[in-house]
């Protein structure tokens, strides 16, 4: 854990905040006595949009740029009682091949 005095933090705030963002904890001291700790947020504490932005920066997802087309939101086939999902999938694939 990195330790910094208040005056040191004020002078090098960008450097210390960069360290916290990368996962380090920072212990603040006043006249040599610790009084506060700055810790990075856990992933589950971040708002959903920030988590998605992190995933996008890491190259794991690509955020959409508009609304999803309505035809993707409505199912093309309706579930039929007594018909297995496999049977319905095979029927849909056969329909697409025509």
* Segments forming the whole domain that contains residue 34: 2-57
Q: Evaluate whether residue 44 is within a structural domain.
A: yes
Q: Evaluate whether residue 42 is within a structural domain.
A: yes
pLDDT tens digit sequence for 1-17: 889 999 999 999 999 99
Q: Evaluate whether residue 6 is within a structural domain.
A: yes
Put simply, whether the predicted model's pTM sits higher than 0.75 gets the answer no
CATH number for 40: 3.40.1620.10
Q: Are 61 and 55 in contact (CB under 8 A)?
A: yes
pLDDT tens digit sequence for 5-58: 999 999 999 999 999 988 899 999 999 999 999 998 887 777 888 888 888 889
The strand order across the sheet containing 26-30 reads 2-5, 26-30, 33-38
Q: Evaluate whether residue 9 is within a structural domain.
A: yes
Higher pLDDT residue, 88 or 24? 24
Rounded CA gap, 91 and 98, in Å?
11
Q: Evaluate whether residue 85 is within a structural domain.
A: no
Q: Evaluate whether residue 95 is within a structural domain.
A: no
Position 75 pLDDT exceeds 80: no
Tokens of 17: 């905040």
Find, among 60, 63, 31, the residue nearest to 43 by Cα. 60
If one counts the domains in the chain, the total is 1
Q: Evaluate whether residue 73 is within a structural domain.
A: no
């Amino acid at each position: 854990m990195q330790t910094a005095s208040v005056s040191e933090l004020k002078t090098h705030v960008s450097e210390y905040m960069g360290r916290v963002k990368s996962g380090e904890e920072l212990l603040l001291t006043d006249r040599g006595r610790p009084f506060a700790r700055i810790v990075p947020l856990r992933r589950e504490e971040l708002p959903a949009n920030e988590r998605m932005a992190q995933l996008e920066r890491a190259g794991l997802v690509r955020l959409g740029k508009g609304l999803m087309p309505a035809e993707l939101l409505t199912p093309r086939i309706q579930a039929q009682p007594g018909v297995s999902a496999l049977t319905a999938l095979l029927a849909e694939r056969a329909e697409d091949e025509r």
